[in-house]
């Protein structure tokens, strides 16, 4: 009987490997940062070879560190930064250009052109209806088009079948299998803006509008699937799970049922709710995406997704720019020293506001300041702002599904902050549960792989191993909650449409 599952977590700033035992306990982990390239204002790139080197380095490091026999590893699961785009030469394995990272804005004009082209045909809703996404440079489609158009000879090579495209999971899978497997999973495919999330096929209309040859695209499989094998020290280990980071976290949090949701408080916040077998179209500015499933051929599950741009980064801003705190964890301490924010609101619209406002010209404001405003009030207003923004997302989601969240599970770096979570529970008036495992993304990838490899039988087995976590129970009076939220929305209204 095999004993372990290895999760490879390829994130935006670092690559990590975590080894789980058959009880889903963490045996060891290794992490390696890699370079961020900013060749121009608003452009972000990674070196795909450095990403691959960092993943293999942490993989070997964790195996050595835990001193386990490679033959005892049942499977590998991959989870990754989503949307980031790599094109490479299928013969030499050399990337034709750096990876264009999800944050990169260089293709905003291509998106405008695409949108106008559909509008001119009277099909303005096509992208939304087909892919579940709001047309944006964030997703892979226009990044692929940019590389094909801007790298000398690339389009010709792609048309001749010499170039392959992949999101980061696909790139790693291809490299780890020695070029044998060119595939991705439904969750990653659903973030390319080229995938029909209903028919589960690449969409010919979008491919033709962007002039992307079909031959460069990977095959698409369920998240829990035998993708191929990687040879480590002479032993073949199956790669049996793949999912994009947020969907992996949803799975790692055991949100298997319709109505179950998780919110990750990282640099930004990502709220995902499982909506079951039906894709739920949002009327409130959320995205529809495919959830990681372990259903094999029984079809896929969908999720609604909303994100807050400035989450934990608000705390970093207090620390690094305002210098009101010296460590992120000080924010909880200062926020608790006062009974309220003294009427101060911070709207951290540093880069505009996302769902449900979608105002790229909104900018941050600090409002309600008086001569008596102290550091603690500002810190508290910053903490509260994270929770208010998540309230806006949760509200949008509840409106879309026509009912309350079943439960909200939370994780991420800023979820260590108990003040924030208590305030969040108070303001949404729902119980929230902080996961006992902070590595829910890696756990999700491990679970998907371990299920397929037979180390764990089914979802019930996963639920059985999931430790209970910590509950935060709402305890705020309705009148206070309503007054605070009214103040927040008044503050937001002052921050909108500010930038020229």
Question: Whose Cβ is closer to ligand ADP: residue 139's or residue 265's?
Answer: 265
According to CB under 6 A, which one of 228, 306, 412, 450 is a site residue for ligand ADP?
412
Per-residue binding letters, 416-435, with ligand ADP (x by CB under 6 A): xx------------------
Residues 14/31, Cβ–Cβ less than 8 Å: yes
What is the spatial distance between Cα 144 and Cα 162, in angstroms, rounded to a whole number? 15
Using the rule CB under 6 A, which residue among 259, 356, 368, 413 binds ligand ADP?
413
Of 142, 246, 275, 331, the one binding ligand ADP by CB under 6 A: 331
Within 244-283, the residues that bind ligand ADP by CB under 6 A are: 266-267
User: Considering only 38-46, 220-228, 411-419, 455-463, which stretch makes contact with ligand ADP by CB under 6 A?
Assistant: 411-419
C-alpha distances (whole Å) from 176 to each of 80, 88, 370, 460 are 15, 15, 59, 31
Beta carbon nearer to ligand ADP, 136 or 383: 383
Stretch that binds ligand ADP, among 221-229, 273-281, 285-293, 310-318 (CB under 6 A): 310-318
User: Nearest approach, Cβ of 95 to ligand ADP (angstroms)?
Assistant: 24
- CA–CA separation, 387 and 426 (whole Å): 10
Please count the CA atoms within 13 angstroms of the CA of 303 that sit on its side-chain side: 30
Q: Nearest-CB residue to ligand ADP?
A: 413
Strands 73-80 and 260-265: what pairing? unpaired
Pick the binder of ligand ADP from 57, 226, 328, 476 (CB under 6 A).
Answer: 328
316 in contact with ligand ADP (CB under 6 A): yes
Q: What are the structure tokens assigned to 340, written together?
A: 């309220």
What backbone torsions phi and psi does residue 489 show, to the nearest 5 degrees?
Answer: -70, -30
Nearer to ligand ADP, 238 or 266 (CB): 266
Window 369-408: contact mask with ligand ADP (x via CB under 6 A): ----------------------------------------
Complex with ligand ADP: residue 58 or 414, whichever CB lies closer: 414
Q: State which of residues 36, 116, 329, 429 lies at the interface with ligand ADP (CB under 6 A).
A: 329
C-alpha to C-alpha distance for 97 and 307, rounded to whole angstroms: 29
Q: Which stretch binds ligand ADP (CB under 6 A): 291-299, 348-356, 374-382, 414-422?
A: 414-422
Question: Which residue in the set 83, 136, 185, 332 belongs to the binding site for ligand ADP (CB under 6 A)?
Answer: 332
**With binding defined as CB under 6 A, does residue 31 bind ligand ADP?**
no
313 scored as a contact of ligand ADP (CB under 6 A): yes
- Cβ within 8 Å of residue 199, ≥6 positions away: none
Distances in Å between the Cα of 175 and the Cα atoms of 27, 80, 159, 388 are 26, 15, 22, 43
Residues that bind ligand ADP (CB under 6 A): 266-267, 312-313, 315-316, 328-329, 331-332, 412-414, 416-417
């Amino acid at each position: 009987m095999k004993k372990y599952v290895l999760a490879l977590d390829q994130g935006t700033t670092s690559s990590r490997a975590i080894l789980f035992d058959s009880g889903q306990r963490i045996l060891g982990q290794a992490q390696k940062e890699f370079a961020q390239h900013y060749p121009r204002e608003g452009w972000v790139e990674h070196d795909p070879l450095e990403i691959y080197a960092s993943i293999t380095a942490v993989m070997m490091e964790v195996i050595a560190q835990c001193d386990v026999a490679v033959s005892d590893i049942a499977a590998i699961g991959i989870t990754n930064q989503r949307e980031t785009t790599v094109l490479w030469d299928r013969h030499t394995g050399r990337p034709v250009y750096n990876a264009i990272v999800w944050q990169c804005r260089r293709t905003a004009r291509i998106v405008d052109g695409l949108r106008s082209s559909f509008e001119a045909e009277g099909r303005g809703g096509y992208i939304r209806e087909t892919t579940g996404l709001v047309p944006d440079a964030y997703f892979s489609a226009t990044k692929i088009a940019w590389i094909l158009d801007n790298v000398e000879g690339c389009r010709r090579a792609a048309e001749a079948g010499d170039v392959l495209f992949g999101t980061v999971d696909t790139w790693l899978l291809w490299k780890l299998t020695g070029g044998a497997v060119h595939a991705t999973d439904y969750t990653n495919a659903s973030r390319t803006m080229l995938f029909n999330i209903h028919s589960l096929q690449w969409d010919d209309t979008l491919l033709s509008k962007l002039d992307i040859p079909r031959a460069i695209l990977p095959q698409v499989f369920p998240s829990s699937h035998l993708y191929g094998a990687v040879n480590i020290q002479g032993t073949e280990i199956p790669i049996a799970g793949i999912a994009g980071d947020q969907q992996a976290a949803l799975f790692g949090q055991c949100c298997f049922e319709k109505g179950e949701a998780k919110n990750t408080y990282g640099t930004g916040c990502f709220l995902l709710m499982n909506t079951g077998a039906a894709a739920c179209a949002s009327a409130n500015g959320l995205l529809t995406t495919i959830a990681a499933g372990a259903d094999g051929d029984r079809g896929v599950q969908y999720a609604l997704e909303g994100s807050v741009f400035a989450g934990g980064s608000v705390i970093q801003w207090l620390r690094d720019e305002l210098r009101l705190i010296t460590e992120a964890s000080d924010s909880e301490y200062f926020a608790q020293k006062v009974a309220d924010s003294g009427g101060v609101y911070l709207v951290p619209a540093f880069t505009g506001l996302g769902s449900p406002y979608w105002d790229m010209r909104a900018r941050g404001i600090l409002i309600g300041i008086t001569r008596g405003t102290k550091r603690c009030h500002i810190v508290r207003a910053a903490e509260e702002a994270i929770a208010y923004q998540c309230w806006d997302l949760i509200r949008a989601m509840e409106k879309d599904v026509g009912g309350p969240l079943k439960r909200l599970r939370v994780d991420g770096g800023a979820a260590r902050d108990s003040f924030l979570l208590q305030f969040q529970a108070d303001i949404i008036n729902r119980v929230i549960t902080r996961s006992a495992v902070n590595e829910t993304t890696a756990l999700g990838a491990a679970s998907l792989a371990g299920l397929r490899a037979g180390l764990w039988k089914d979802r019930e087995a996963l639920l059985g191993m999931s430790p209970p976590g910590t509950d935060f129970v709402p305890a705020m009076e309705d009148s206070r909650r309503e007054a605070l939220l009214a103040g927040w929305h008044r503050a937001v209204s002052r921050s909108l449409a500010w930038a020229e």
